[in-house]
Structure 1
Amino acid sequence: MDYQKLAADILKNVGGQGNINTAWHCATRIRFKLTDEKKADTKAIENLDGVITVVQSAGQYQVVIGNSVGQVFDQLANQAGLENKSDTATEEPADKENLINRFIAFISGTFTPFLGAMAGAGILKGLLALFVALDWMTKTSGAYQIWYAAGDALFNFLPIFLAFTAAKRLKVNQFVAVALAAALVYPTMVTVADKATTLHFFGIPVVPTTYTSSVIPILLAVWVLSYLQPLLDKIFPDAVRNIFTPLFSLMIMVPLTLIVVGPIGSGISNLLAAGVSGIYNFAPAFAGVIMGAFWQVFVIFGVHWTFVPVMMNNIAKMGYDPLLPILSAAVLSQAGAALGIFLKTKDKKQKALAGSGVVTGIFGITEPIIYGLTLKMKRPFICAVISGGIGGAIIGSFQAHANSFTLPSLLALPTYLGKGFSGVLIGIAVAFFLAAILTYLFGFSGQDAAQVKSDGLEEVVAPAAGTVIPLKSVHDEVFSSEAMGKGIAIVPTEGTLKAPVSGTISAVYPTGHAIGLISDQGAEILLHIGIDTVKLNGKYFETLVKKEQHVNAGDKLVSFDLDKIKAAGYDTTIMLVVTNSKNYEVNVTTETAAADNWLLKLKPE
């Protein structure tokens, strides 16, 4: 893949550098905050080789790339100067977005930059627990202690990482935010909290609270800092602002956080942990069904980010999280659906995408599967939802826990060691294999089912009575050059356009002069009545079908007044173009255009 060209094409079609407020990427997507999403050419981006799809959700314009998203983003950043621009860009005014979208954008932008490192560290902690359980290593060994420090450091000092990324999102001094977080986990403060000693700040008691591994207190503290810093900037002149604003920010925010903000954040954290624990303990199997079935739906709409701080807070407050193992069932069910597609389909492109999707899905990356396969085909996605729900119910009923945060996948299994681990193994196995079986048996319909018949020819019959002529002879360069695809043309003798194949109407043009349809075997066909007849604005045309309607070969699609169109000075030649003809070996006939005559025979390559 040419990452540089793909990045350039994406940059052009999102509206250029001037239309980008901020941009970042996660495991599979480039996420944009655009000034005006209407300036982005979504269709053009989706058609780029290397782009899986485009998602507009949670106030973000998300271009789904897949595993090579990092390389594409690097090129995009170089071309658009994103690193420089992000420091000076003015965010879209807050009142243009609802509160939920702003919150989700803040959470995703805060956690995304170090999510990979956090997942890797979590897996390392899980592996160490496995090594100890298998007697391959002892907790007193030097190797264990060094590796445990490597795995646990990010979680122990999590407030520092969150402070840095949250400050960037809220556009405050990142190093002041980091210093604030570091004060919360400073050894003296940790010791005081461990001993439950109450300090006094000018007579005001400081509640002893441990902030290592915490999430919500530092996010609240940085949010408060985002209001204090601009106020201090206004008070101090330019000559001393760079020193006095950080000085007073720390002098005010550290005690304020320890006395007020931190305890409030800790209280919220405790309530969240207790709430999740209460709901889960009341009906663990039901919680498993809901999270296992609908987690990928949450991912599609981008609202899954709201669960990340909750799950991390659970681990910080309770020492475990009950949701993460259930999510593995949701992830593995998508991988299973990809396996079902891989085994069933004969379409080479679909098989290649499904095969790679199985591998990436097992390791926790499901976006290429969802947007490239299951969601497009619909039924496989439903099969995965059902399987994920059943697998999640099994895991929930065993009350399994995650001892460390990492991305749900097979790699996360060591982090689920302990209570309910056998249920995790059963649940994810059921989710994976059931999704594969259901998809293989019931996941294909219509054009999807027809794609497995790779050796079958599809006949395209005449859409109208008349004289057949080669497409290259029509007086329109767009069609005659075959730039839109191979096909045939007819000089009609009557004013009725009929379906040349059985399929689903994919496009109905308001002017009535053109119809798009997708055959039951996957051929994408454009029928265009006349040349430049769009200028008639629908005059002399009557459309007889609706978008998404299924039609059979020979059904009437459009009625048009042939004589009046000719009298108006327009060429009435009908063009039949297979727009995805690159996927076929196309045989063309020049026989008379009658209802029982085929004009094209399409053989999948």
Structure 2
Amino acid sequence: MSQKYNDLAQKIVSLVGGKENINTVYHCQTRLRFKLKDESKANQDALNNMDSVAKCLISGGVFQVVIGTHVKDVFEEVEKIVGPLENKEQDQSEKKGILSVIIDFISGTFQPIIPALSGAGMVKAVLAILITFKIISTESQTYYILNFFADAVFYFLPMMLAYSEAQKLRCNPILAASVAGIMMHPNWNALVSAGKAVKLFEVIPFTLTTYTSTVIPVILVVLVQSYIEKYLEKWIPQAVKLVFVPMLTFLIMGPLALAVLGPIGSVLGGYLATFFKFLSTTAAWAPAVLIGGFLPIMVMFGLHNGVAPLGVMQMGELGYDSIFGPGCVCSNIAQATASSVVALRTKDKKMKQLATSGSITAYMGITEPTLYGVNLPKKYPLIASMIGGAAGGLYAGLTHTHRFATGSSGLPAVFLYIGNDTMTYFYNILIALVISFVVTAIVTYVLSLKFENQEVQTIEKVHVNKGEILSPIQGKLYPLSDAKDEAFASETLGKGALIQPSNGKVYAPFDGTIVTLFPTKHAIGIVSDDGIEMLIHFGIDTVNLNGQHFTAFIEQGMKVKQGDLLLEADIEKIKAAGYETQVPVIITNSFNYQNIELSSKEDVSYQDVILKVKGEK
């Protein structure tokens, strides 16, 4: 299935410094994540220039290669090349800031369980739809069964977190999940329900707290367990490790979890819940506005990995998420909309294709391809999406909109807002998304009127000898004497060529400077770096159109390279207006040269030489 990505995987591994430079590699929904021994050995520029790579960046100590939604297939090929890496030790000389360490830890702990949370969330959404449309009732067995299908993930969340955190901390994930199982055992829950004091050996008191669906307690427990387990591994003889390390881990961590660490985590979780409630009542608008507006920036720097788990924690404490979900979905829809407008406005075919495909995946909740491939490089769509995302987030925050399950933050996510026997939150998130869509579309379009017209498009640069001039336009080549204008035909303005264009795009025939751009945009004066002065005049008497049907991509005084797009004319509309579309191409300083030869070719394209200038006087 992934074999077709073998070449891409080979190139990526080579450009990150080879498999010997890789400590670990894993993937998320859109990107390969490398821990490298020496980041300086990776060729970031070469990776960024690959067509199959949307972006390459370093964030939180992780070397990230953004691939797209097919990243899993690429990862399978990378894994075949580099082999198993789980036991490779990270380069101890690598130093990270405290923020990078925290984000890396949170990301590494929560990222692996996102698919399970998303799947359970969507099951919850389907269940909510079935109930809303009265297809099933809450009293039916079908509801009962589907409900525990989804609840299982949240109920056993501590065990999944323990497993993924242990992998991150390089301790035994099975032992960690087993200790979490101790905290969730039905017998312990029965003791908690009974409400009677519990003491181990009649001495060590256990605080009566339920740990199902919680987050912070198990994170603290596994953090301490990682140190204890490594200590036991170091001092217990190899011959008896298999038996005594697990046994002592359970005997030590069980009491610690139920007597000390779990209760501490529960108290911290209570404080966190109080903070969430404070936000919900006092500053409900703030999280959704900040996430809606600044999520693209957070993604670029990896900060979203430290913020997104707050939504999971809030859901564990209060049963809903208003911290991350609403702002995130508004931001994603805004980015998708900005990319869609770019697809409509840009004249670059490659960018149009990238923006179209990127917007589709962004509407489904995966924004990296459009963020790194379209919005960030162009800048103005990114600004527009941040404004639109913040606007939608503001409405969501002011209306206290929240979701009842985690899942994809694209259009399908709207069903996660059905819950509590009401459709209010569902309607509000739809309104918030419409606001994000409309505001983003308007701002992107307005900005595109300036920035798309300033954007210089190019064709492939070709090598020419000194004095050779390429055709600035595609079409049929004629002597200048065939021009339907006496001033051009008589060579009064200088020697040159005449082209009957087959399309309206005019490209720079050489490296040079734009010295004249007529206000009517029908004519361009350009001087080559070698001193050749050229006039490109699109059409005969087209000055009378006053700029209609012409789009200029350059400004007077601008430096251009051979192959840069200078001008685009709508040939059909010019003809319909009654004007001739012949294009005289004139060397206005012809008197400086001994001879100017016209090519004998009839059909010319942008890579063809049409004039040769010889012998400066």
Corresponding residue number in structure 1 for 2:587? none
* Larger displacement relative to structure 2 (189-198 or 30-39): 189-198
Corresponding residue number in structure 1 for 2:14? 12
Work out whether residues 53 and 67 of structure 2, in 8 Å CA contact, stay in contact via their aligned partners in 1. Answer: yes
* Larger displacement relative to structure 2 (421-430 or 273-282): 273-282
Deviations 1:283-328, CA, capped at 9 Å, x for gaps: 2234332221012211111011112332111111111111212221
Corresponding residue number in structure 2 for 1:184? 183
Work out whether residues 344 and 452 of structure 1, in 8 Å CA contact, stay in contact via their aligned partners in 2. Answer: no
Q: Give distance in 1, aligned partners of 2:510 and 2:372.
A: 33
Q: Give distance in 2, aligned partners of 1:505 and 1:210.
A: 69
Corresponding residue number in structure 2 for 1:266? 266
Work out whether residues 109 and 169 of structure 1, in 8 Å CA contact, stay in contact via their aligned partners in 2. Answer: yes
Q: Give distance in 2, aligned partners of 1:318 and 1:279.
A: 13
Deviations 1:531-556, CA, capped at 9 Å, x for gaps: xxxxxxxxxxxxxxxxxxxxxxxxxx
1:491–1:223 distance in 2 versus 1, CA, 3 Å = closer
1:308-327 pair list within 5 angstroms: 308-323=308-323, 324-327=325-328
Is residue 2:422 matched to residue 1:428?
no
Secondary structure of 2:35's partner? strand
1:178–1:503 distance in 2 versus 1, CA, 3 Å = farther
Corresponding residue number in structure 2 for 1:200? 199
1:138-149 pair list within 5 angstroms: 138-149=137-148
User: Counterpart amino acid of 1:37?
Assistant: E
Deviations 1:387-441, CA, capped at 9 Å, x for gaps: 0000000011110111112232221212212453322111111112321232122
Corresponding residue number in structure 2 for 1:303? 303
Q: Give distance in 2, aligned partners of 1:521 and 1:223.
A: 61
Work out whether residues 25 and 32 of structure 2, in 8 Å CA contact, stay in contact via their aligned partners in 1. Answer: yes
In the TM superposition, what is the alpha-carbon distance from 1:114 to its structure 2 partner?
2.7
User: Counterpart amino acid of 1:115?
Assistant: I
In the TM superposition, what is the alpha-carbon distance from 1:262 to its structure 2 partner?
0.9
In the TM superposition, what is the alpha-carbon distance from 1:190 to its structure 2 partner?
2.3
Q: Give distance in 1, aligned partners of 2:384 and 2:426.
A: 25
In the TM superposition, what is the alpha-carbon distance from 1:179 to its structure 2 partner?
0.4
Secondary structure of 2:227's partner? helix
Corresponding residue number in structure 2 for 1:586? 607
In the TM superposition, what is the alpha-carbon distance from 1:518 to its structure 2 partner?
9.8
Q: Give distance in 1, aligned partners of 2:54 and 2:187.
A: 51
Work out whether residues 290 and 327 of structure 2, in 8 Å CA contact, stay in contact via their aligned partners in 1. Answer: no
1:586–1:95 distance in 2 versus 1, CA, 3 Å = closer
User: Counterpart amino acid of 2:332?
Assistant: V
Work out whether residues 507 and 565 of structure 2, in 8 Å CA contact, stay in contact via their aligned partners in 1. Answer: no
Work out whether residues 200 and 206 of structure 2, in 8 Å CA contact, stay in contact via their aligned partners in 1. Answer: yes
Corresponding residue number in structure 1 for 2:585? none
Secondary structure of 2:85's partner? helix
Is residue 2:505 matched to residue 1:456?
yes
User: Counterpart amino acid of 1:247?
Assistant: M
* Larger displacement relative to structure 2 (439-448 or 131-140): 439-448
Is residue 2:386 matched to residue 1:337?
no
Q: Give distance in 2, aligned partners of 1:26 and 1:521.
A: 42
1:109–1:286 distance in 2 versus 1, CA, 3 Å = closer
Q: Give distance in 2, aligned partners of 1:162 and 1:518.
A: 55
Deviations 1:37-69, CA, capped at 9 Å, x for gaps: 100001111222311110111111000000110
Secondary structure of 1:209's partner? coil
Work out whether residues 337 and 437 of structure 2, in 8 Å CA contact, stay in contact via their aligned partners in 1. Answer: yes
Work out whether residues 6 and 77 of structure 2, in 8 Å CA contact, stay in contact via their aligned partners in 1. Answer: yes
Work out whether residues 380 and 439 of structure 1, in 8 Å CA contact, stay in contact via their aligned partners in 2. Answer: yes
Alignment TM-score, normalising by the size of structure 2? 0.75
1:157–1:491 distance in 2 versus 1, CA, 3 Å = closer
1:94–1:445 distance in 2 versus 1, CA, 3 Å = farther
Secondary structure of 2:505's partner? coil
Corresponding residue number in structure 2 for 1:105? 104
Tell me how many residue pairs correspond in the alignment: 494
Work out whether residues 345 and 452 of structure 1, in 8 Å CA contact, stay in contact via their aligned partners in 2. Answer: no
Deviations 1:128-149, CA, capped at 9 Å, x for gaps: 0221122111223232222222
Corresponding residue number in structure 1 for 2:443? 438
Deviations 1:169-202, CA, capped at 9 Å, x for gaps: 1110111111011111111122333444432122
Work out whether residues 343 and 440 of structure 1, in 8 Å CA contact, stay in contact via their aligned partners in 2. Answer: no
Work out whether residues 346 and 452 of structure 2, in 8 Å CA contact, stay in contact via their aligned partners in 1. Answer: no
Q: Give distance in 1, aligned partners of 2:443 and 2:614.
A: 43
Q: Percent identity?
A: 33
Corresponding residue number in structure 2 for 1:392? 393
Corresponding residue number in structure 2 for 1:122? 121
1:156–1:492 distance in 2 versus 1, CA, 3 Å = same
User: Counterpart amino acid of 1:373?
Assistant: V
Work out whether residues 342 and 350 of structure 1, in 8 Å CA contact, stay in contact via their aligned partners in 2. Answer: yes
In the TM superposition, what is the alpha-carbon distance from 1:100 to its structure 2 partner?
1.5
Work out whether residues 509 and 562 of structure 2, in 8 Å CA contact, stay in contact via their aligned partners in 1. Answer: no
In the TM superposition, what is the alpha-carbon distance from 1:28 to its structure 2 partner?
0.3
Corresponding residue number in structure 1 for 2:356? 355
Over alpha carbons, which structure has the higher Rg?
2
In the TM superposition, what is the alpha-carbon distance from 1:113 to its structure 2 partner?
2.1
Secondary structure of 1:443's partner? helix
Corresponding residue number in structure 1 for 2:465? none
1:395-414 pair list within 5 angstroms: 395-414=396-415
User: Counterpart amino acid of 2:507?
Assistant: E
1:6-405 pair list within 5 angstroms: 6-81=8-83, 84-86=84-86, 88-93=87-92, 96-202=95-201, 203-323=203-323, 324-405=325-406
Work out whether residues 446 and 521 of structure 1, in 8 Å CA contact, stay in contact via their aligned partners in 2. Answer: no
1:504–1:357 distance in 2 versus 1, CA, 3 Å = farther
User: Counterpart amino acid of 2:42?
Assistant: A
Q: Give distance in 2, aligned partners of 1:94 and 1:186.
A: 42
In the TM superposition, what is the alpha-carbon distance from 1:205 to its structure 2 partner?
1.7
Q: Give distance in 2, aligned partners of 1:505 and 1:116.
A: 50
1:516–1:149 distance in 2 versus 1, CA, 3 Å = farther
Corresponding residue number in structure 2 for 1:477? none
* Larger displacement relative to structure 2 (100-109 or 11-20): 100-109
* Larger displacement relative to structure 2 (178-187 or 344-353): 344-353
In the TM superposition, what is the alpha-carbon distance from 1:385 to its structure 2 partner?
0.2
Secondary structure of 1:326's partner? helix
Q: Give distance in 2, aligned partners of 1:274 and 1:503.
A: 61
* Larger displacement relative to structure 2 (158-167 or 91-100): 91-100
Q: Give distance in 1, aligned partners of 2:308 and 2:287.
A: 16
User: Counterpart amino acid of 2:372?
Assistant: Y
Q: Give distance in 2, aligned partners of 1:49 and 1:357.
A: 14
Q: Give distance in 2, aligned partners of 1:140 and 1:380.
A: 49
Deviations 1:220-248, CA, capped at 9 Å, x for gaps: 11111111012112221000012101110
Work out whether residues 125 and 404 of structure 1, in 8 Å CA contact, stay in contact via their aligned partners in 2. Answer: yes
User: Counterpart amino acid of 2:294?
Assistant: F
1:254–1:463 distance in 2 versus 1, CA, 3 Å = same
Work out whether residues 312 and 321 of structure 1, in 8 Å CA contact, stay in contact via their aligned partners in 2. Answer: yes
Q: Give distance in 1, aligned partners of 2:510 and 2:363.
A: 45
Q: Give distance in 2, aligned partners of 1:264 and 1:505.
A: 65
* Larger displacement relative to structure 2 (363-372 or 444-453): 444-453
Q: Give distance in 1, aligned partners of 2:436 and 2:509.
A: 41
1:131–1:27 distance in 2 versus 1, CA, 3 Å = same
User: Counterpart amino acid of 2:51?
Assistant: D
Secondary structure of 1:110's partner? helix
* Larger displacement relative to structure 2 (237-246 or 306-315): 306-315
Q: Give distance in 1, aligned partners of 2:512 and 2:614.
A: 8
